[in-house]
């Protein structure tokens, strides 16, 4: 069976995210089209968690990686709030009450810094990891992001355990976190589209653009960061045109 590169999988993640946000903005929420589009849209978060874990293993500068993620979390926050609330928050509390997914990805990356720090004793790692994950509560995808990042990082060499732990956390935490926002369980079930992400992950060939030119590597590195806030802005203005 054909395997796919990191770039191809990131294109899938971007396409899924865009489709999800188009459905969120333009398609009636109880329609079949919305269900299917948002089902596919659930692919993005697990795929990006997978690549955060991969990136942490192979990046040449982990600190710059984290700084880049935090920078775009800050840049994306006002656009995220405008996209979802159609206005900027009235005060600082509202600004930080609901954080964008780059914030949650940053916390996932930060957990890896904590658990791989050789200077920290195990009790300190456990406490700091718990604190970091708890802060994900106000972010998009909540606790799932840092937990999935840890799962993908530690169990990438044992795919069966990795898929099992991913599935257990999804089955437990998705309804715990989001079922209360839906009128019926059936409407909620599109969130289980996260399991579709396991297909491209299983087909990943492990290649991270090693033979690409410096320009292509730079585009691949920065494109998702820039695209995330940019596409929200474009969809928002299109919906108000």
pLDDT digits (tens, 9 = 90+) for 87-145: 888 888 888 999 999 999 999 999 999 999 999 999 999 999 999 999 999 999 999 99
Is 90 exceeded by the pLDDT of residue 54?
yes
Q: What are 116's two structure tokens? A: 């791989």
* Res 214: pLDDT: 56
Is 70 exceeded by the pLDDT of residue 180?
yes
Please give the model's pTM, rounded to 2 decimal places. Answer: 0.94
Query: Residues 153, 39, 44, 82: is their CA dihedral positive or negative?
Result: negative
| pLDDT, averaged across the chain | 93
CA distance to 99, 102, 103, 105, per residue, from 96 (Å): 6, 13, 10, 16
Is 70 exceeded by the pLDDT of residue 233?
yes
Q: How far apart are CA 166 and CA 27, in angstroms?
A: 30
Average pLDDT over residues 21-50: 97
- In the numeric block, the tokens 């791989």 are attached to 116
CA distance to 1, 173, 189, 198, 227, per residue, from 181 (Å): 40, 14, 12, 25, 28
Report which of 179, 200, 199 is spatially closest to residue 191, judged by C-alpha positions.
179
DSSP annotation of 137 reads G
Is 70 exceeded by the pLDDT of residue 35?
yes
195-209 pLDDT tens trace: 999 999 999 988 766
Q: Are 81 and 33 in contact (CB under 8 A)?
A: no
* Res 200: pLDDT: 96
* Res 213: pLDDT: 54
């Amino acid at each position: 069976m054909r395997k796919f590169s990191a770039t191809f999988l990131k294109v899938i993640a971007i396409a899924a995210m865009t489709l999800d946000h188009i459905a969120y903005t333009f398609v009636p929420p109880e329609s079949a089209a919305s269900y299917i589009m948002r089902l596919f849209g659930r692919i993005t978060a697990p795929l990006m968690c997978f690549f955060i874990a991969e990136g942490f293993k192979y990046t040449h500068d982990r600190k710059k990686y984290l700084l880049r993620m935090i920078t775009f979390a800050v840049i994306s926050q006002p656009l995220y709030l405008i996209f979802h609330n159609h206005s900027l928050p009235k005060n600082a509390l509202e600004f930080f009450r609901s954080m964008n997914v780059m914030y949650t990805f940053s916390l996932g990356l930060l957990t890896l810094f904590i658990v791989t720090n050789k200077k920290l004793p195990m009790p300190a790692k456990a406490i700091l990891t718990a604190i970091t994950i708890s802060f994900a509560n106000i972010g998009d995808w909540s606790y799932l992001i840092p937990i999935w990042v840890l799962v993908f990082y530690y169990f990438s060499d044992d795919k069966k355990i990795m898929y099992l732990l991913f599935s257990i956390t999804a089955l437990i935490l998705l309804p715990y976190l989001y079922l209360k926002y839906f009128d019926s369980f059936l409407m909620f079930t599109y969130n289980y589209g996260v399991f579709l992400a396991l297909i491209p992950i299983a087909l990943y060939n492990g290649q991270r653009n090693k033979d690409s030119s410096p320009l292509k590597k730079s585009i691949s590195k920065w494109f998702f960061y820039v695209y995330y806030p940019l596409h929200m802005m474009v969809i928002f203005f299109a919906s108000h045109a």
